[in-house]
Structure 1
């Protein structure tokens, strides 16, 4: 008799999984990958969700240093730094993206740290001192998540305190004077009731490009790295039924801005090694968070969980957005954001079904000071904007096992969001920047119910297929960068998506070949897109769109020691209707931002015991099709990225025994080995008449390489 397809709730927000590049052959077969969903274990192959996950070993083997590094390995996912900086994240999943990190807007893709939603993408590329895994879920998430996310979710899960005493000390060095120090200590179980972990990570590196500007305050080099991350975690067995888990994390970055090189309209695609940006001065951020998880076993088959969290973020930058050494258009941003959240989950199972019920509350206060320096006059235009928002949600999902082969899953989410935004401006130009705006407020609220359903069929213990229909929803909001009060007061509409997905999870050839695939169609209404107007950006609703795609992930155990993986993503987004304010139909000319048509990644991993150590070698290749950064044709052409390919590699000697419980690991690594030159994004540059004459474009990091030495005890 076949085992049920899924014997746990589909709460994959906390899935523990190995990436396809990390799973390796064991006696000629692929290992069974065990995932946990709300403290319960299941086989990853039995989960009807499109998810890619990277365990601790994969993070090390593929030299993943932040969320952006994950992008090249996951189908239909693009993650890039926001233009001009190195701490903000632009994340696109299946064509859902927000390209401007203004605090009055919220992203369609959620970042979660240990189950806690991070409200803003500005400052989103923060470091976490010690990660256990990274998970990327594609498609709407809401029936098992605290915050509704319309495009998908990225989960950062840090390591829990170990049961035994031990730790790791690692030092690294590389080109561009790269230096890294990492320390982690586990106390082990104390008095059979508590365990603690402390971790600290410091990274420093010179910049990649030289700033030839001699302007006062301008940085000497671009993209200099100076980061610190710390984490403290404690787990407590308060009683036999009650557990507590507390995490504090902190990340500080004191980097320098990215190099925005000016590319004139019609110029050739050529990256420069140096240039003058007189307004490139600062790019720093600080994030911290407290989270308390309480788990109480009400009965053998019912568990109550509580997640109480507070996070804060501050971000400061001063960037040059004309891309030249002439005092043209510079901006500064001083952002503060604080959030509190409370989530309750009731998780249980009965004879033929499992269930998750949840309640969620979220409150955020975010504000920004955003002055413009124009023509060398500091603060000629002073902008201020912000938002206070509250979100309430009830959600639930249940799996009903019709037979040993058929499983029916249903869920729904009710959400209410309230937002009050403000705007203020002092315009010293007298022309072109909207004029003075006294502090003005506007408020609105939105309510939504989003259902989902999945039907899963297990062909055997090795293969299953599923069909999923789900609704996704994103609240409306206000344009904090509006040019006048009338535009600001009119909230833009909520965005909705109806998503259809047909998936396959399978193992073949006696567990030597794994093939997972998904085809999907998203029907989007009122897609929220950011329109760049030369100095300000506005969210506008793009009518209707249909996004179709394919995702294929293949893993093969070629020998007992050699594993290969291939990932393929195909995306076909089209606007069904996109009219401007004058009623002109633009569906055939407007572009989809951060939506490359094709994306391929492949990897080889070799593991072999040498007696005194384990040899681990990995080679990764990725190819990304061309994509656009903006939807409006003129700005899209000025900043588009051509197709590009990246090669990364790492070779390590692991588990070199130097004592009874002590070992050393030595590794060499390289990223972008062929020194590929490629655009990441850009900011269009307009003349005094408002005509776009070029763009300050930003390019991917050059070749880097280094050596790691780790001591484990």
Structure 2
């Protein structure tokens, strides 16, 4: 079922009107909304006192709303789109307020930064992974830089994991569902050991059969599409060396051994329809492994806290995908990626009189090597020789990037009501890249020739460039009443230029694309009323973008490249409402609106501003959630249902590519029912049992796709079908 485009806005306004009218929220009622704490500005703050557009999900919300990884957040946050990248289940395409990196190429910068416990995660390949002991997710909308190690133009996703507790405790969870889904989770806190050492160990395991059957005759092809085999583990140790000095170490590891998504072959004009079966011979594996060490050292100097964050992360990624969507070898590709990053950040956080300050020094280095062979334009594959009838292009490329930055922000509390915040960031980034293409062999029937040796198509080519930039931010916030504040914000975000790692000529490989700059203006209000029973957060913004970096898939050559759109303007609105309707009954309503247009877009000598599309920019997006909690004699009963709506949007800026891959408007309904706090014995042992369901209406909707405009078709990828299951957890 798809509803009218105008319906989400009407629902959001209508619900807001009912909630704020006073008929639903009686002044003398008892229930109130809880305080939400965030660390978006490097210090613990009340969400309502943070003058930026931010959405936060604590551990209870993550559980109640079925948020297993960052992709699930997309349903509940206005003007945020998060989806698996085309073809795989471990790469993330993240768009905030129309800023997005469509292709997760390892040589390109992400538009939205992902941080785990303050550590920047460099690439969107491998960006969707399980995190054991996730305590909170914060979504920051708009440019980030004066408070963060890495400068990002779209926003930031903060993943905050739980620190070890002071008491010996643990949680064990098991669950299962349709499509053969099983999960298990164990977490143990040691409590305080000798000399103030606290340790937590957590392990998570998830498995699921594929959603769709692959009927290919090729024995090397996967039997099912989108099988899940995911394992994650985390070790955290906090050591209080003295009253002033704490050392905190974490190690996280995540491994996925999945099969790729179903690439549905769809010629121009095809109906949006999710199929259950297909014969696709190039779909084989979709694997990723992430691990990271992070050492946090905090030294309390009274009014100031000096922090050091040293982190080393490694990621490997391997997939084999089919981009013709058939049991013939038209165009297949593999990716084998090795990536490592090293970062060092120093922060000084504290207060001097009426001024709160955050200052930072940041160093970052990353290296990546990619083996990206593809097989193209061959006749049918006999199972006995799966690749013997195709041209094989061995595409090798890699990059190294080094970034240094100085950043800081000062918040001057001029009066109890008025605060002026100013920030500045200087960044320099250097990038080196190499690339080489080799034709491994050719087939007689296809080309008429038989090559006895490899042929170099693109000789080993290197590129180097350095970019630097200074970006400011300014925020004025004023507290109108005790629980009502307004703010005005102007900030710049910057993303360095780079090189096209998938280029097919030396000229393209050595020609850098330009850096991107976003100047953002935002007006916001954060309010609580009706005796802490209604929370209303509203933001209006405008982003002026210069040299917008856009990915273009060149289907005929089998690679993607970045184009710069000269100037663009994105305007929007965000409304987030929380209401305690009655004792145990809470409502949330979110609404986002985007209006995006190009002011100038010169492509191959022509201005295409009137025909080019904006990727991942639905005009309207809305969600409504209703939760009921009641204490029973057996425990605490909780029931929650969430509905979300996403307007239609395009995946690519090229109008022909967009037409083949357009995502039509869709709705998703999720729900969860649980009985928790069931006492077992006389101690603190508690049992929780739950039923959950996702996409309960079994909505069929596209996520994205890969277009071949010259051939007049695309392979498109769809959202998951209806899933449901049960779980039980024991805490002690």
Cα deviation code 1:326-361 (max 9, x no counterpart): 111000000010000000001120221110110000
Measure the CA separation in 2 of the matches of 1:437 and 1:226.
38
The residue that corresponds to 1:408 in the other structure is 420
> TM-score, normalization: structure 2?
0.92
Taking structure 1 as reference, are residues 39 and 637 closer, same or farther at Cα in structure 2, changes over 3 Å only?
closer
2:385 maps to 1:383: no
> Residue 334 of structure 2 is aligned with which of 332, 335, 342?
332
TM-score calculated relative to the size of structure 1: 0.94
1:653-695 residue CA offsets vs partner (Å, 9 max, x unmatched): 0110002110100000000000000000011135xxxx13111
Candidates 585, 591, 598, aligned match of 2:607: 585
Please give the alpha-carbon distance, in whole angstroms, between the structure 2 residues aligned to 1:233 and 1:378.
49
Say whether 1:109 aligns with 2:112. Answer: yes
Are positions 1:702 and 2:724 aligned together?
no
Equivalent of 2:233 in 230, 239, 243: 230
Partner of 2:529: 508
1:352 corresponds, among 325, 344, 354, to 354
Given the superposition, is the C-alpha separation of residues 578 and 416 from structure 1 closer, same or farther in structure 2, using an over 3 Å criterion? same
SS in 2 for 1:436: strand
Shift of 1:36: 4.3
Equivalent residues in 2 for 1:528-547, closer than 5 Å: 528-534=549-555, 535-547=558-570
Unaligned runs of 5+ in 2: 1-27, 379-386, 448-454
Distance 2:272 2:116 in 1: 38
Matched, 1:612 2:612: no
Match of 2:171 among 161, 168, 172: 168
Aligned to 1:685: 708
Shift of 1:142: 0.3
Does the 8 Å CA contact 1:549/1:569 hold for their aligned counterparts? Answer: yes
How has the CA–CA distance of structure 1 residues 476 and 39 changed in structure 2, closer, same or farther, with 3 Å as cutoff?
closer
Q: Deviations over 1:432-483 (max 9, x none)?
A: 9x97111111100000000000001100111000000001100000001112
Distance 1:199 1:664 in 2: 19
Tell whether the 8 Å contact from 1:371 to 1:379 is kept in structure 2 after alignment.
no
Match of 2:668 in 1: 646
Counterpart in the other structure of 2:153: 150
2:699 pairs with 1:676: yes
- Separation (CA, whole Å) in 1 of partners of 2:303 and 2:41: 12
Q: Deviations over 1:473-524 (max 9, x none)?
A: 0000000111200111011000001000000000111111110000000000
Q: Is the 8 A contact 2:41 2:147 kept in 1?
A: no
Which digits, 9 at most, give the CA deviation of each residue in 1:123-162, with x for residues without a partner? 1111111100111100000000001111000011111101
How far did 1:704 drift? 0.2
Question: Residues 149 and 473 of structure 1 are in contact (CA less than 8 Å); yes or no, is this contact kept in structure 2?
Answer: yes
From 31, 34, 52, give the equivalent of 1:31.
34
d(CA) in 2 for partners of 1:414 and 1:193? 39
Identify the match of residue 498 of structure 1 among 498, 510, 519: 519
Cα gap change, 1:201 to 1:596, in 2 (>3 Å): same
Shift, 1:378, TM fit: 5.7
**Is this contact kept in 2: 1:672–1:703, CA < 8 A?**
yes
* Contact 1:635–1:692 under 8 Å retained in 2: no
2:668, 2:305 → 1: CA distance? 45
Q: Aligned to 1:60, what secondary structure does the other structure show? A: helix
Q: Is the 8 A contact 1:372 1:378 kept in 2?
A: no
Following the alignment from structure 1 to structure 2, what is the Cα–Cα distance between the partners of residues 78 and 34?
Answer: 24
Using a 3 Å threshold, how does the CA distance of structure 1 residues 357 and 190 change in structure 2: closer, same or farther? same
Distance 1:39 1:486 in 2: 44
Q: Is the 8 A contact 1:321 1:685 kept in 2?
A: no
Cα deviation for residue 428 of structure 1 reads: 5.2
Aligned equivalents of 1:378, 1:420: Cα separation in 2: 32
Query: For 1:612, what is the secondary structure of its paired residue?
Result: coil
> Within the alignment, does 1:361 sit opposite 2:363 as a pair?
yes
Could you give the per-residue CA deviations for residues 202-241 of structure 1, whole angstroms, max 9, x where no partner exists? 0000000000101131000000000000000000001111
Aligned length: 682
Aligned to 1:315, which of 314, 317, 335? 317
